[in-house]
Every structure is written in structure tokens, then in C-alpha cells.
């Protein structure tokens, strides 16, 4: 029961054929060679597998491939464009908002969505908006700072 | 064993086997200048069975093209040493940071290393690396003196070149000096180092070498390694530790297209070129296990531990404890309990192994690559020299990745499948096979005399081990007795326990610092003043005073409903003092930690930003075992198998964390990856007491436990 699924992945069209019940995380990591989205819990709890689907931050371990037909997927590998880091990526580096870096792709993409919804986030907005993304190294305080500083850069006219 | 040791300690003897292996080892590394050095792990490397050259633990190589490589068996798991070590090296050698390559955790390229734990990297490795770099720099100046025909004292170095101090244009690059040369030198003397105040590269966080890869998804962790023909394995697991397989039917799994089922004794696995398909096939295996019944569970565990506890060894004794008891006007006893806590790194234990003829290549998320090498050699019955372990970035370790079970599993499966095999534990497997921080008990009996001084302190700790058990307060009559270590032993814990960030110290510090607070309350003295009254140690006094200043501590007798607490502690030479402010919702028992001030004296500070990041991480992680984390279990059955019921700290629990590093230039750098976690239990317990007037004697202090403690009162 192969299904043909077409979607955009990191700004390029992809045609994929296979079992549409398979979860996007594993298709990304094995079939499509993009290992930026991580496995952390497999149950939609930790957020390490977060990707953007039509600009919504979703947990790819819970998204069957058939649901992304016709949609646009962006993984951490596709966030920087034309060799330009996204302000969030820059801010994570500058603020030291990562330790082991395993949660980082999910953190950055979750923050991306948060800043779309709340371009001028309060600290409380960030704490709440990021609450379901887990970091075991305890980089939280710097992640909050990184998101705040990226928010400022995103708002400033370029 | 003793004989083995003496036999292999002479590196310079002709014909010595270690010298031969050193030659072989270095042959593969090309030309240039080599400085071989060791950092206090040599003794441990001389145990029988270790394969590496035994007289050095790391190599610094200035290559013929002027680039610099450092080969070390240490690994990067988030503590930032891939950068901080490179910075120290660049600093001392006077080369641009960008020309330094850190080659880490590769057992073929790096000399033997014990492992990355116990905050050893900064304490033992860093200073020696700087010395090696200084030695190399001196050597380069020597070579340049010949080359430029100038006396050495007229030369200086900058940016990978030696130059004439009076005429900077008269210069020669390191590359020119090393071209066509091969100089091997052991670090013997202690060259003088640059003063920390002159540093220009070290401690700049924006320079982190791994950060760019980590924010773009390019960083490779073990699970990201892809080898041609690689299969993903999922393994059949028992429902409980100690369970025995009675019956198994793999027929339905075997029927799945392209699936390979492997059985090797108790190891039953399903392999497929897609991990999710292997997972699905695994679910089709029918199995039946015999689960032994056990009386040991969450409710009986402490009773059980006390029953099986060994005699104990005295590690500290002062005065005469009986005499001290006699002098006491008020006697206070307390029992402090801590429960099993998981490491729970977001990256689960992962390994990729490719067994070929005469060659085994291993990629592993491990804190101990050289141990993994031995384990694989043993499991496959191949010579260890045929095994190469490569350690990609590790996604958090905290002591838990010192055990390599997944590596051995992948190795066995790769051999049987004759293909490269990846084993990446599921979150459920990670919780099942974790080597937990052990449940432990601290029993303290102490007394105050009529001037409110502590006159005796009798301390027993069960199964946390001795680290941080010794009293640093000024008390005349002391007896400290640890019973059993954190590893437990047969019949102690229903599952495996092991080293967990600052092993032993979390339980010991919770016990001691809670009890000191309890005594302060009974003495009617402010807990900070009470501590200072009993402290001669100048380092600790200074730290507490710094914390008080930063926090704005008011010397008041507690409780005063402000929710403020203090605690301090020591861990392998590093001192910590913490103050915290909490809010307790009396209706629900929920604790919100609002602010944490943490001060640390780690001796000389090489990389302040790095040290602060570790301190912040420690505070956050510490709040987990303090407020919410505990493994629920029934005998060998682990009931928390994912992050839903096992709650690690989240953003909503983030306090305002203020870190203060106390300069202590006279003291060599101490470890900073662990100590800042040890006081968390006590500082929060003391703050909760101040908030609601109720003391908790057990971690984690969940809302349930707090509500119960309040009703009891
Ligand atoms: S792996 Fe998908 S949410 Fe954890
Ligand atoms: S940085 Fe390690 S899990 Fe977040």
C-alpha cells in the first residue's frame, strides 16, 4: 500500500513513495538523510524531533507522512538560507544557549514558531511557550535570553 | 597485579613493550613536533588488560603545515571542553584558535584515557595541556633561534609565528620551523605558564567550536552515523530486572518483509533497514517472562537498605564521640532520605558497530571509549587492537554513559548479521537500563552545648558513598561512617545504580545541610550566622559571605515566611554556597523556586563563561531531584519509562539564576561540571522550611509530600 506523497522539504520539492503511516521523524532521518531532528522520547513529550510544517512547530515523531502531502516542511538544516544563519541560530551561539546541543534543533524551531505568534514576547510568554520542550543539560536561562535577543533582531528593520 | 604494575612503568627502557606500542602509535600521525604528556591517569592505565601505551595520556602535535592537533580520549558531552581545551592550547601556544583541531575520544588516534567524568577534564587535563603547549612554544623558540640566528631571549611568539621583538618583520612561522622535522618530546619539567589575566582567547563563549554545527543540525551524534548497508536493531526486553525468558515465538516478526531476526542466547533482536519497521516487527514477537516476586518496592526500600547495609568504615574521627554526647545540652537526631534518580539525557544510549574481518569499528555515545573498546573485544573474543571506538558528540551523559551495554549489544548483533548495526535505545529502554543515582539514607545524631555550639556529630550514610560525607564545620567530637557505596552490590538495589552527577554528594549534602539548618533553628540562630560560627575554613567563609551579599541575606532567626534558604558544600576540592528563595502554595503544596544565587570557588578560573554555564545547568538539573524526580518501581519493574511520569525540570520551573565565581588564583583549577548541583536539595528544603515552618526530610519534595508534612504538623 504505497502512497505517493509530495511535499516541500527545506524549500525543495520532494516526491516520496511508501507507507504513509510511517512517522515523519524516521523518514527524515533514514530515507531522506536529514538527521537534525532528534529522537528523544518517541511519544511527543520532549520536542527533540520538532520540525516546522507549514510554519507550525510539530513533533515529527507523531506525524504520519500521509499528513504532510502538499505541505511545506522545514527542518533545522533548512533554517539558514543562502549561508545566512537565522537570528535564532545566531542568538543561540552568542548567548551560549546550548550545552550538549541535542535539544537545540527542537528548541530553535519551537522558538521560531513562538516568535511568529508573539513577536514581542514577555519572559512569561517564553517560559510558557517553550515549556513542553525539554533540555536535560539545564541551558534554560540562556535559551530564554537567546530567544529574547533574537526577537529584538527579528523586529529591527534590516 | 602488583607485579604487572611495576613491570610496565618504565617507558624509556629499550625494548619495553610500551615503548614499541608508542612508536607504532605515533607512526600514524605524520610529522612535526610531538609533545607527549600525561595527567594523572597513568597509574590507572597500568592495569592488566589495557592496550594503550602506558606512559602518556595525550599528544600535542604541531604539524608540518603549522596546524595544531590535540589527541585526547576525553569526550564532549555538553561541558564545552572541545572549546575550552582548544582555547587553553591556542592561548599558551600563541596560535589562532581556528588552527587547533581537537581529536577526541577516538581509540585509534588518541592514547588511553580513563574516561570523562568526575570533573577531571579541567582539573587534571587542562593544566597539563597548557604546560605541554608552553613546552612546545619553548621548543619552537629554540628552533627559531637557530633559524633566525638570534638569541632566544630576543624572540617572542604570536599568531603561529616566532618573531624578533625588536623587528617584528624578522619572523618565521611555526609551519616553516616544523617542516620536514619529527621531534618527539615528553613533558617532563613544569614550564611557566601565562598568567590568566593575560588571556585573550579563553573563556569567550561566542568562540564555541561546536556551537555552529549544533545550531544548524550538522553536528553528528552517534545516532546520526550512517554506514552502507547498516541495519537498525530493536531488542526484546524483559518486563523487569531479574526476569527470565520462558517462551518466545518470533514467527510473526520473521514473516515481515526484509526483517532479520537474530537470537543469541538471551539477546533476541529484530533488524531492518528502517528503525521504525524494526520496531513494528519487534511488537509481533510473542514472549513470556518469569518475573521474580520481590518485597522491595518504593514503600519498603529504605527499610530494606538499612537491613542489608554493611558495617561501614570510619572515614573521619575527631575527639571522642561518647564524650561529646555527654557534653550536649540538646540532642537532635535526623534521618534524611533520597530516592532513585535517572540520568535521563535527551540522547539515549546509542551505538553503531561494524564488525569486519580483523576489524571492528564502533561509534558510541559513551563517556568511556576505552572501556567500550575492551568490552567489545571481550564480547567478540577479538584482540582489543582490532577494535576502534570513535566518539561523536555525546548528547548528555551526567555519569550515565560510563556504562556501555548498548555498545556490546550492537557489536554482538553486527557480528551475527554480518552488517553494520545501530542500536539506539528507546526512551523506555533508557529508563529501564539506566544506572540510577541510588536511594540513600543519611542518619545524623548531633548535639548543642549551652553556648549553642555543636559539640558532637555522629554521621552514618547508607549507600550514597563517602564523597562529601566528611564534616567541614568546626566540631570537637566527630564520627563519620559511610556504609556501602553508590554502586550497591549484590542484593542491595533491585536494579543497577551508578555514578550520577556528583555521585554521593547530593545525598550527603542534603543530609548535612538540612541538619545544620535544623540545629540553627533549635539554637534560635540565623542559619547563616550559625554556619559561620562553626567555620574556620576561610574559603568557605568567604564564599558564604559572597553569597549573602549577592542575595541580600538578612540575619534573622528562622522561619520568617520569606522562603529563603542557605546551604554550602564541598566536592572534590570545589566549594559551593547557595541561597534560594521559594514560594510555596499552601493549598496545593506546589513549590516555585524564584531565585537562586550560587557562588563557587573552583580555584583558578580559566573559562568563566563555561564555568557559569555548568553552574546554571547544575542548578536546573538539581531542581529535578529536589522537587519532582524519582523512579517509581516494584521490585525489578521500573514504572517510569518516559518523560510523562518522570518529570525533569522545565522552563516553567526556571528560577532567576545568579552565578558568582570567586577568584582564587593561588589554587589550581578545580572541576566545575558537578559541584554546583550538590546543595540544591538542602537549600530548597531550608527555604521551604522558612516559608511554611515545616521541614521535609525526604527528596524529592513533591506537592504530595509537602501536603503530608503540613498536615502532620
Ligand atoms: S521524540 Fe518526538 S517529542 Fe520526543
Ligand atoms: S543542551 Fe543538552 S539537552 Fe539541552
User: Quick check: B674 and B121 in contact, CB under 8 A?
Assistant: no
Within this chain, do residues A69 and A91 fall inside the same structural domain, yes or no? no
Dihedral sign for Cα A42, A44, A47, A50, please: positive
> Which pTM value belongs to this model?
0.94
pLDDT tens track for B429-482: 999 999 999 999 999 999 999 999 999 999 999 999 999 999 999 999 999 999
- Check whether B547 has a pLDDT greater than 60: yes
Between the CA of residue B532 and those of B197, B241, B443, B453, B538, what are the distances in Å? 32, 47, 23, 11, 10
Q: Cα of A152 to ligand 1 centre, how many Å?
A: 29
**Pocket flag, ligand 1, residue A42 (CB < 6 Å):** yes
Closest CA to B453 of B525, B556, B542: B525
User: In the predicted model, what is the mean pLDDT of residues B217-227?
Assistant: 97
The answer to whether A48 and B241 have CB atoms below 8 angstroms apart is no
For B234-244, give one letter per residue: b (16+ CB within 10 A) or e.
Answer: bbbbbebbebe
Give CA angle at B15 (B14, B18), nearest 5°: 100
In the prediction, which pLDDT does B208 show? Answer: 77
What CATH number does residue A150 fall under?
Answer: 1.10.150.120
Option in A41, A80, A144 nearest B643 (CB):
A41
CA distances to A102, B382, B393, B572 from B350, in Å: 13, 22, 11, 30
Chain B partners of A46 at a C-beta cutoff of 8 Å?
Answer: 346, 427, 643
Query: Among all chains, which residue has been given the C-alpha cell 524494526?
Result: B278
> From the CB of residue B496, how many other CB atoms can be counted at a distance below 10 Å?
15
SS3 state at B143: helix
| A56 and A17 fall within a common domain | yes
Q: Do A131 and B650 touch (CB under 8 A)?
A: yes
- ipTM higher than threshold 0.90: yes
Q: What share of chain B is helix, strand, coil (3-state, %, to 5)?
A: 35, 25, 40
Rounded Cα–Cα distance for residues B64 and B180 (Å) = 7
Do A9 and A61 fall within a single domain?
yes
Distance CA B259, CA B270 (A): 7
- Residue B671, helix vs strand vs coil: coil
What is the DSSP annotation of B241-260?
TT-EEEEEE-HHHHTSTT-E
Q: Is the N-terminal amide bond of B155 cis, ω within 30° of 0? A: no
Nearest CA to ligand 2 atom 3: A135
**Closest residue to atom 3 of ligand 1, CA basis:** A44
Domain that includes residue A39, residue range: 2-78
Residue B233 carries which DSSP code? E
Residues of chain A with confidence (pLDDT) below 70: 1, 158
CA distance A70 to chain B (A): 23
Strands (E), B397-532: 421-424, 440-448, 454-462, 477-483
Cα angle: B695, vertex B699, B702; to 5 degrees? 80
Among residues B257, B246, B254, which one has the least CA distance to residue B285? B254
Q: What is the number of H-type helices and E-type strands within chain B?
A: 21, 28
Distance (Å, rounded) from C-alpha B200 to C-alpha B371? 37
Tell me, using a 6 A CB cutoff, whether residue A44 lines ligand 1. Answer: yes
Last residue of a domain, one of A29, A53, A78: A78
Q: Which residue has the higher pLDDT, B119 or B127?
A: B127
Contact residues on chain B for A102, CB-CB shorter than 8 A: 78, 221, 345-347, 395-396
By C-alpha distance, which of B558, B525, B507 is closest to B330? B525
Of A87-91, B86-90, B434-438, B582-586, the poorest mean pLDDT is in B86-90
| Number of domains making up chain A | 2
Higher pLDDT, B50 or B298: B298
**Per-residue confidence (pLDDT) for residue A76, from 0 to 100:** 98
Q: What mean pLDDT is predicted for residues B677-685?
A: 98
Nearest to B690 by CA among B553, B554, B561: B561
With a cut of 70, say whether residue B505 has pLDDT above it.
Answer: yes
| Confidence check: pLDDT of B12 > 50 | no
Torsion region of B449: left, alpha or beta (phi above 0 gives left; psi -120 to 50 gives alpha): beta
| All domains in chain B, ordered by first residue | 11-216 (3.30.365.10), 222-291+350-424 (3.30.365.10), 301-341+436-712 (3.30.365.10)
For residue B568, give the nearest of B427, B468, B433 by alpha carbon: B468
Q: Confidence band (pLDDT; 50, 70, 90) for B192?
A: confident
On whether both A25 and A42 belong to a single domain, the answer is: yes
Q: Within this chain, do residues A63 and A94 fall inside the same structural domain, yes or no?
A: no
Q: Is the peptide bond before B38 cis (omega within 30 degrees of 0)?
A: no
- B3 pLDDT more than 70: no
For chain B, how big is the Rg over CA atoms in Å?
28
Residue A56 sits in the same domain as residue A92: no
Give the model's pLDDT for residue B499: 93
Please report the pLDDT score of residue B201 as a whole number. Answer: 76
pLDDT on residue B79 = 85
Which residue spans within B585-643 are E strands per DSSP? 591-601, 633-634, 637-638
The closest of B349, B350, B414, B422 to B387, measured between CA atoms, is B414
Q: Which residues of A fall within a CB distance of 8 Å from B228?
A: none
Q: Which residues contact B581 (CB under 8 A, 6 or more apart)?
A: B562, B563, B564, B565, B593, B594, B595, B596, B655, B687
Q: What's the pLDDT at B16?
A: 41
Are A74 and A92 in a shared domain? no
* Nearest in space to B222 (alpha carbons), one of B482, B436, B15, B421: B421
**B346 to chain A nearest CA, in Å?**
5
Domain-ending residue, one of A78, A110, A131: A78
Residues 6+ apart with CB under 8 A from B268: B235, B236, B245, B248, B250, B261, B262, B285, B287
| Cα–Cα–Cα angle for B697, B700, B705, rounded to 5 degrees | 65
- Asked whether the beta carbons of B591 and B666 are under 8 A apart, the reply is no
User: Are both A127 and A146 inside the same structural domain?
Assistant: yes
- The position carrying cell 516487527 is B281
CB B97 within 8 A of CB B45: no
Select from A29, A37, A41 the residue to mutate for testing ligand 1; criterion: most ligand atoms less than 8 Å from CB: A41
Cell numbers 567563609 label which residue?
Answer: B541
Tell me: do A53 and A96 sit in the same domain: no
Bridge partner list, B261: B270
SS3 B201: coil
Q: State mean pLDDT over B42-47.
A: 48
A28 touches chain B (CB under 8 A): no
| Whether B672 contacts B122, CB under 8 Å | yes
Say whether residue A122 is in contact with chain B using an 8 A CB cutoff. no
Task: Indicate the residue among A31, A55, A78 that finishes a domain.
Answer: A78
Instruction: Report how far residue B491's alpha carbon sits from residue B295's, in angstroms, rounded to the nearest whole number.
Output: 12
Find the mean pLDDT for residues B598-605.
88
Distance between CA atoms of residues B512 and B675, nearest Å: 15
Residue A17 distance to chain B (closest CA, Å): 15
* Percent of the residues in chain B that have a pLDDT greater than 90, as a whole number: 77
B389-417 pLDDT tens trace: 999 999 999 999 999 999 999 999 999 99
Does one domain contain both A67 and A96? no
Q: Are residues A35 and A59 in the same domain?
A: yes
A64 with A99, same domain: the answer is no
Residues having CB closer than 6 A to ligand 2 are A 98-103, 135-137, 139; B 78, 346, 396
Instruction: Give the CATH number for residue A27.
Output: 3.10.20.30
Interface contact A136, partner B, CB < 8 A = yes
- Please give the average per-residue pLDDT across B155-166, as a whole number: 95
Q: In the A/B pair of chains, how many CB contacts fall below 8 A?
A: 175
Query: Which of A99, A101, A126 is the closest to B617 by Cβ?
Result: A99
Name the DSSP letter for residue B187: -
Task: Return the minimum-mean-pLDDT range out of B88-102, B463-477, B618-632.
Answer: B88-102
Amino acid at each position: 500500500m504505497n502512497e505517493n506523497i509530495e511535499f516541500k522539504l527545506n524549500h525543495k520539492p520532494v516526491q516520496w513513495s511508501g507507507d504513509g503511516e510511517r512517522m515523519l521523524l524516521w523518514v527524515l532521518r533514514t530515507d531522506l538523510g536529514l538527521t537534525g531532528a532528534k529522537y528523544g522520547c518517541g511519544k511527543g513529550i520532549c520536542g527533540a524531533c520538532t520540525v516546522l510544517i507549514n510554519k507550525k512547530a510539530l513533533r515529527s515523531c507523531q506525524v504520519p507522512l500521509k499528513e504532510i502531502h502538499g505541505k511545506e516542511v522545514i527542518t533545522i538544516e533548512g533554517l539558514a538560507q543562502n549561508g545566512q544563519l537565522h537570528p535564532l541560530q545566531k542568538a543561540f551561539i552568542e548567548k551560549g544557549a546550548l550545552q550538549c546541543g541535542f535539544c537545540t534543533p527542537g528548541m530553535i524551531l519551537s522558538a521560531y514558531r513562538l516568535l511568529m505568534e508573539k513577536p514581542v514576547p514577555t519572559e512569561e510568554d517564553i517560559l510558557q511557550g517553550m515549556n513542553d520542550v525539554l533540555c536535560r543539560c539545564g541551558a534554560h536561562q540562556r535559551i530564554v535570553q537567546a530567544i529574547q535577543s533574537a526577537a529584538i533582531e527579528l523586529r529591527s528593520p534590516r | 597485579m602488583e607485579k604487572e604494575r611495576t613491570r610496565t612503568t618504565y617507558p624509556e627502557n629499550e625494548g619495553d613493550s610500551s615503548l614499541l606500542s608508542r612508536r607504532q602509535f605515533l607512526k600514524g600521525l605524520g610529522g612535526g613536533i610531538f609533545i607527549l604528556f600525561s595527567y594523572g591517569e597513568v597509574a590507572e592505565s597500568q592495569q592488566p588488560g589495557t592496550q594503550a601505551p602506558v606512559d602518556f595520556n595525550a599528544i600535542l602535535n604541531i604539524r608540518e603545515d603549522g596546524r595544531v592537533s590535540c589527541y585526547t580520549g576525553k569526550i564532549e558531552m555538553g561541558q564545552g571542553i572541545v572549546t575550552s581545551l582548544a582555547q587553553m592550547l591556542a592561548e599558551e601556544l600563541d596560535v589562532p584558535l581556528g588552527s587547533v583541531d581537537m581529536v577526541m575520544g577516538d581509540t585509534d588516534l588518541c592514547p588511553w584515557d580513563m574516561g570523562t567524568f568526575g570533573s577531571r577534564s579541567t582539573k587534571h587535563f587542562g593544566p597539563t595541556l597548557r604546560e605541554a603547549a608552553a613546552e612546545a612554544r619553548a621548543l619552537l623558540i629554540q628552533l627559531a633561534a637557530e633559524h633566525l640566528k638570534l638569541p632566544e631571549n630576543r624572540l617572542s611568539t604570536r599568531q603561529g609565528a616566532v618573531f624578533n621583538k625588536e623587528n617584528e618583520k624578522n619572523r618565521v612561522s611555526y609551519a616553516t620551523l616544523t617542516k620536514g622535522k619529527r621531534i618527539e618530546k615528553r613533558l617532563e619539567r613544569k614550564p611557566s605558564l601565562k598568567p590568566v589575566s593575560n588571556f585573550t582567547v579563553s573563556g569567550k563563549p561566542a568562540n564555541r567550536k561546536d556551537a555552529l554545527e549544533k545550531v544548524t543540525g550538522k553536528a553528528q551524534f552517534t545516532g546520526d552515523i550512517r554506514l552502507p548497508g547498516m541495519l537498525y536493531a530493536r531488542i526484546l526486553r524483559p518486563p523487569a530486572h531479574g526476569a527470565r525468558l520462558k517462551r518466545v515465538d518470533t514467527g510473526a516478526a520473521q514473516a515481515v518483509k526484509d526483517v532479520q531476526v537474530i537470537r543469541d542466547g538471551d539477546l533476541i533482536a529484530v533488524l531492518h533497514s528502517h528503525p521504525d519497521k524494526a520496531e513494528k516487527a519487534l511488537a509481533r514477537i510473542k514472549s513470556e517472562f518469569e518475573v521474580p516476586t520481590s518485597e522491595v518496592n518504593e514503600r519498603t526500600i529504605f527499610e530494606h537498605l538499612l537491613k542489608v547495609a554493611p558495617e561501614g568504615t570510619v572515614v573521619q574521627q575527631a575527639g571522642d564521640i561518647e564524650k561529646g554526647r555527654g557534653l550536649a545540652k540538646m540532642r537532635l537526631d535526623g534521618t534524611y532520605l533520597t530516592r532513585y534518580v535517572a540520568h535521563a539525557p535527551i540522547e539515549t544510549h546509542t551505538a553503531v558497530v561494524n564488525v569486519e574481518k580483523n576489524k571492528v569499528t564502533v561509534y558510541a555515545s559513551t563517556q568511556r571509549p576505552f572501556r567500550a573498546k575492551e568490552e567489545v573485544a571481550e564480547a567478540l573474543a577479538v584482540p582489543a587492537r582490532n577494535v576502534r571506538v570513535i566518539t561523536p558528540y555525546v548528547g548528555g551523559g551526567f555519569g550515565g554513559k560510563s556504562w556501555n551495554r548498548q555498545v556490546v549489544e550492537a557489536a554482538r548483533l553486527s557480528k551475527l548479521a554480518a552488517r553494520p548495526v545501530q542500536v539506539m535505545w528507546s526512551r523506555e529502554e533508557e529508563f529501564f537500563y539506566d544506572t540510577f543515582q541510588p536511594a540513600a539514607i543519611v542518619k545524623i545524631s548531633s548535639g548543642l552545648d549551652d553556648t549553642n555550639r555543636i559539640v558532637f556529630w555522629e554521621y552514618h550514610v547508607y549507600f550514597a558513598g563517602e564523597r562529601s560525607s566528611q564534616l567541614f564545620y568546626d566540631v570537637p567530637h566527630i564520627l563519620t561512617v559511610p556504609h556501602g557505596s553508590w554502586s550497591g552490590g549484590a542484593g542491595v538495589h533491585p536494579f543497577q545504580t551508578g555514578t550520577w552527577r556528583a555521585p554521593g554528594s547530593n545525598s550527603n549534602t542534603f543530609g548535612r545541610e538540612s541538619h545544620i539548618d535544623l540545629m540553627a533553628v533549635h539554637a534560635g540562630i540565623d542559619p547563616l550566622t550559625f554556619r559561620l560560627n562553626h567555620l574556620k575554613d576561610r574559603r568557605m567563609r568567604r564564599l558564604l559571605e559572597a553569597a549573602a551579599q549577592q542575595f541580600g541575606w538578612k540575619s534573622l532567626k528562622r522561619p520568617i515566611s520569606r522562603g529563603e534558604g542557605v546551604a554550602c558544600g564541598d566536592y572534590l576540592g570545589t566549594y559551593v554556597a547557595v541561597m534560594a528563595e521559594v514560594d510555596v502554595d499552601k493549598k496545593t503544596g506546589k513549590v516555585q523556586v524564584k531565585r537562586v544565587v550560587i557562588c563557587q570557588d573552583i580555584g583558578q578560573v580559566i573559562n568563566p563563561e563555561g564555568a557559569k554555564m555548568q553552574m546554571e545547568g547544575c542548578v536546573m538539573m538539581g531542581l529535578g531531584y529536589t522537587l519532582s524526580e524519582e523512579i517509581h518501581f516494584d521490585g525489578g519493574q521500573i514504572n517510569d519509562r518516559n518523560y510523562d511520569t518522570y518529570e525533569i525540570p522545565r522552563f516553567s520551573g526556571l528560577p532567576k539564576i545568579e552565578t558568582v565565581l570567586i577568584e582564587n588564583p593561588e589554587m589550581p583549577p578545580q572541576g566545575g561540571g558537578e559541584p554546583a548541583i550538590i546543595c540544591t536539595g538542602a537549600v530548597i528544603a531550608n527555604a521551604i522550611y522558612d516559608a511554611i515552618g515545616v521541614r521535609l526530610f525526604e527528596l524529592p519534595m513533591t506537592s504530595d509530600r509537602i501536603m503530608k508534612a503540613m498536615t502532620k504538623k
